[in-house]
Structure 1
Amino acid sequence: MLDRLSYFFILQGHPEALIQGHYNGWLVVLSLLIATGASMMAFRVAGFAKRERDPWTRQRFLMIGAFALGGGIWSMHFIGMLAFELPAEVHYHGLTTLLSALPGFLASWVALDLLARDQISKRILLYGGLLVGSGIGLMHYTGMEAMRTELKLGYDPYWFAASIIVAVLLAVIALWVRFGLARITVMPFSVRLSISGLTMGCAIAGMHYTAMLAARFVGEVHIPESQDVTHHIEMALLITLVTIVISGVVFATVLLMRYKTLYWQGKETSARLSAIFDTAVDGIITIDSLGTISAFNPSAERILGWEAVDVLGKNIKSLMPEVHARHHDQYLKNYLKTGHASIIGVGREVEALHKDGHLVPIRLAIGETQVQDQKLFVGFITDLTQRREMEQALLEREHQYRTLINNMPGVTFRCRFDEHWTVLFVSTQVKELLGWESDEFTEANVTFGALIHPEDVEYVWNVVSNSILDDKPWVIEYRFIHRDGTTRWVSESASGVRDGQGELIWIDGVMVDITESKRQNAILSGVLSAVNKAVAVCEYDRNGQILRVNENFLTLTGFLENELLHQPIRCSMMIVRASLYIN
């Protein structure tokens, strides 16, 4: 095990001398710029992928972005390697060099897939940072294995571990910056993109140069005669140029794909808006800042009677009655000049001019929009003809209903079943019955409960409660106290009204003033009582069957009551008995 580790790591106590290299500063800066530029472009591509709804198109964006970022990581690595100068001849194994790009590509795909999400949890952030950092590290060390030199290459185990940790930490930070800046700041997108790209570029370069600190070259110093620093610079510039060209092609491809997506989305949106425009129930009319009609949908044709071809290009005031048309152009000019609007954004009911000349009641709502450098005004019109007709019919029915109610004998009412008999509606005849206006009852200034005669309160409550419990109508006579203090007798016919669930909602009924009838009955009862006491009375039906006799008749005839009831009248017997009684 130790032998295997010693093959890869330079352990303490190694007897051979270490060879030191040095860096070309300009190439180091160039490598950082390459990493930063590739990261910015990859983040931009991730932004495009984030907007895509189609999963396959989204993955194509991610794959292209991963190719660009992976290529940027690979280019940064080899420019960084070319910046490192050793006192020995160095070249690279072609196949291993190409294979080293694969981990960078996979790491880039993971990073972009995370960046294309709307939100990211801490656990996913750490997991993504670990994969991205490990991928960058694997790419670097695979690329280092492609080096072919007479020196022996090994790694310091501590710096090796540090390079992986740096790669993971910087990748986590770079991903966090990409998400965190949008939440905690309001800085422009370009600034956030630059900061995020620079952070990821530093993560890529930081891992590379930390890993180079771990590299240990062992052997004898031998400077080849053919070594030329200029050649390294030319190679680095060539790689940079190829990277820029590839990145440009990738970005152009992405823009083309984005344009294609936007084109089809625009076509889809246009078709959807056209369908909405053509099938909308309300009329939609669009005019420009001069009042010229530019759109007129089928519902507007139906409401106003005009064909679209007849009104397109004409001024909107041709659809207005004269009282509004003569002020329209001036109103539009004032609005464009001052920005003060009294009808835009507010719905109102007006009248429009139909093609045949009659006025159409409509509800008009106007909205404003800006298309490029031109203001457009969109009017939405709703035909109110049927509603007005319904309202008129309701008014006529209400008038008929009120006329019927007001001409009915008695007082029609609707009230709650509560201790106050709270009134919901009562006809105007209630003033004649109780002395109070109907509005005073509906506004709860006075209630039926307060006017019922105290001696009848319990009686009325019991009769109504039992009838409601049995779900039956009732007829009841009781007394009210009039506003002037007099007593009024009423006969109430009413019933409970229930909803669909069987719950009582109110009581509907009619009260008839029977005060005069009660008075006449009392008078008649007194007269009958006096007559009954003064004369002999015998009541019988058409068949001569006796129904009732009074005491005077019994005294006069000498019969007992049970001898006469339901018996035929026998005048001779009555005369005989009467004569015997007299004698």
Structure 2
Amino acid sequence: MTLLKWPRRHPQTHGEEPQLLQLFNSLNDVVLLLDKQHQVQFINQYWQTITGIPVEETVGRLFSDFLHPEEIPSWSQLLNKIIPSQHETVWFRLISASGELRWCEMRIQSVNKDQLYPLSATLCDITPQVRNEEVRHASHRSLQSLVDRLPAMLYRSRNNASWSMEYVSEGCELITGYSAESMLNQSQVSLGSIIHPDDATHVWEEVQQSLETFSPFDIHYRLTRADGTEVSVQDKGRGLYSKSGMVLGVEGILLLTNK
């Protein structure tokens, strides 16, 4: 198959080819063609925009030459999955001319419905979105680390007699003596089961009254820790509601007190 050349090498040839190449070069996505050896036969100018690698230095090379080494196994698996008349979509990292990594989404398929090669593909640079997601994850990890270091127990529970936990911070162990994992979804122990029996009714009634009036609560009561000792805590929280006003749960913070 004759390689498609970059238009500056063969301008104004093959009839409408220059106009077609001009169209490809106006796109803000990479368009490429791969032969049976997975070498680049054609690629448009946007490739150079996102990678800094000239088109002339790309045509004729294996596409895998531009992938991050850790992506090579996934690339090989992708090529083995492709069948005529179907497309595959994958994310991977490219190495730019400066050494910077660029995240791309590739959609690849056979040009012809009845044979596998050549392969056509489009690449969309998703690096900004991936970076924003990484920033959000880093911020979440930082916030979670801060929460877990607090000498307090942050929680979200269902509104039942057991106060079954849907979320609990690592400060749970400091307050109750139980690990966070042991209290989640009442797998081993529930908050309701360690509230002092003489305080349990009072706690339930106070919370229910606050939920009915859509107001926060601030309650003091006693807990029995894992080692059997009793501690006094302050529980400050509020209800979680649906748009219709139905109670979905309770969230709050438990603090040790000197009472």
TM class by shorter-chain length? 0.7 to 0.9
Q: 1:460 corresponds to which letter in structure 2?
A: V
CA contact (8 A) 2:40 2:63 kept: no
The one of 130, 142, 145 aligned to 1:400:
142
Deviation at 1:428, TM superposition (A): 1.0
Counterpart of 1:342 in structure 2 is 80
Alignment of 1:148-159 (within 5 A): none
Structural mapping, 1:328-477, within 5 Å: 341-342=79-80, 344=82, 346-370=88-112, 375-445=117-187, 446-477=189-220
Change (3 A) 1:413 1:374: closer
Deviation of the 1:453 alpha carbon: 1.8
Q: Deviations over 1:442-469 (max 9, x none)?
A: 2431221222222222211110011111
Counterpart for residue 241 of structure 2: 498
Amino acid at match of 1:435: G
User: How far, CA to CA, are the matches of 1:372 and 1:479 in structure 2?
Assistant: 74
Q: 1:409 to 1:353 in 2, by over 3 A?
A: closer
1:320 aligns with 2:66: yes
Any residues of structure 2 matched to 1:179-190 within 5 Å, and which?
none
Whether contact under 8 Å (2:33, 2:42) holds in the other structure is: yes
Change (3 A) 1:313 1:427: closer
1:507 to 207, 232, 250: 250
- Give the Å deviation of 1:324: 7.8
Partners of 2:229 and 2:71 in 1: how far apart?
65
User: Equivalent residue of 1:314, what SS?
Assistant: coil
Q: 1:510 to 1:376 in 2, by over 3 A?
A: same
Residue number in structure 1 paired with 2:8: none
| Structure 2 CA distance for partners of 1:325 and 1:313, relative to 1, 3 Å | farther
TM-score by length of 2: 0.72
Per-residue deviation, residues 530-558 of structure 1 (Å, max 9, x unmatched)? xxxxxxxxxxxxxxxxxxxxxxxxxxxxx
User: How many Å apart are 1:492 and its aligned residue?
Assistant: 0.7
Change (3 A) 1:420 1:346: farther
1:291 to 26, 32, 38: 38
- Cα distance, 1:494–1:322 mapped onto 2, change above 3 Å: closer
Percent of residue pairs identical: 19
Aligned to 1:284, the other structure's residue is in SS state strand
Change (3 A) 1:297 1:422: farther
Distance (whole Å) between structure 2 residues aligned to residue 511 and residue 326 of structure 1? 50
For residues 357 and 410 of structure 1, do their structure 2 counterparts lie closer, same or farther at Cα, with a shift above 3 Å needed? Answer: closer
Query: How far, CA to CA, are the matches of 1:433 and 1:452 in structure 2?
Result: 12
- Tell me if structure 1 keeps the 8 A contact 2:152–2:174: no
Inter-partner Cα distance in structure 1 for 2:71 and 2:211: 62
Deviation at 1:347, TM superposition (A): 4.1
Take 1:396 and 1:343, find their aligned partners in 2: how far apart are those partners? 34
Compared with structure 1, are the counterparts of its residues 382 and 419 closer, same or farther at alpha carbon in structure 2 (3 Å cutoff)? farther
Query: How far has the Cα of 1:411 moved from its partner?
Result: 1.4
Larger Rg: 1
How many angstroms apart in 1 are the aligned matches of 2:208 and 2:88? 52
The Cα shift of 1:351 comes to 1.9
1:119-138 correspondence runs (5 A): none
Report which of the two has the higher share of helix: 1
Letter in 1 for 2:120: V
CA distance in 1, matches of 2:155, 2:143: 13
Contact persistence 1:288–1:374 (CA under 8 A): no
Q: Displacement of 1:357 after TM fit?
A: 3.8
Counterpart in 2 of 1:61?
A: none
More off after superposition, 292-301 vs 360-369: 292-301
The corresponding residue for 1:114 is none
Distance between the aligned counterparts of 1:432 and 1:312, measured in 2?
59
The gaps in structure 2 that reach 5 residues or longer are: 1-21
Aligned positions of 1:547-558 closer than 5 A: none
Tell me if structure 1 keeps the 8 A contact 2:68–2:93: no
After TM superposition, list the pairs within 5 Å mapping 1:210-229 onto structure 2.
none
The aligned residue for residue 566 of structure 1 is none
Alpha-carbon distance in structure 2 between the residues aligned to 1:361 and 1:301: 15
Residue 50 of structure 2, aligned match among 298, 303, 313: 303
Aligned AA (2:154) = T
Cα distance in 1, alignment partners of residues 218 and 103 from structure 2: 50
Q: Are the structure 2 counterparts of residues 315 and 478 from structure 1 closer, same or farther at C-alpha, using a change threshold of 3 Å?
A: same
- One-letter amino acid matched to 1:354: S
- Note the C-alpha offset of 1:510: 1.1
| Structure of greater relative contact order (alpha carbons < 8 Å, 6+ residues apart) | 2
Deviations 1:399-445 (A, max 9, x none): 32123213333211111222321212111111122121111222431
Q: What's the offset of the Cα at 1:288?
A: 2.0
Q: What are the residue-to-residue correspondences of 1:19-168 with 2, within 5 Å?
A: none
Asked if 2 retains the 8 angstrom alpha-carbon contact of 1:319 and 1:353, the reply is no
Check the 8 A contact 1:413/1:427 in 2, yes or no.
yes
Separation in structure 1 between the aligned mates of residue 228 and residue 108 of structure 2, nearest angstrom = 61
Higher strand share: 2
Checking the alignment, whether the CA contact within 8 Å between 2:152 and 2:171 is kept in structure 1 is: yes
Query: Counterparts of 1:300 and 1:423 in 2: how far apart (Å)?
Result: 51
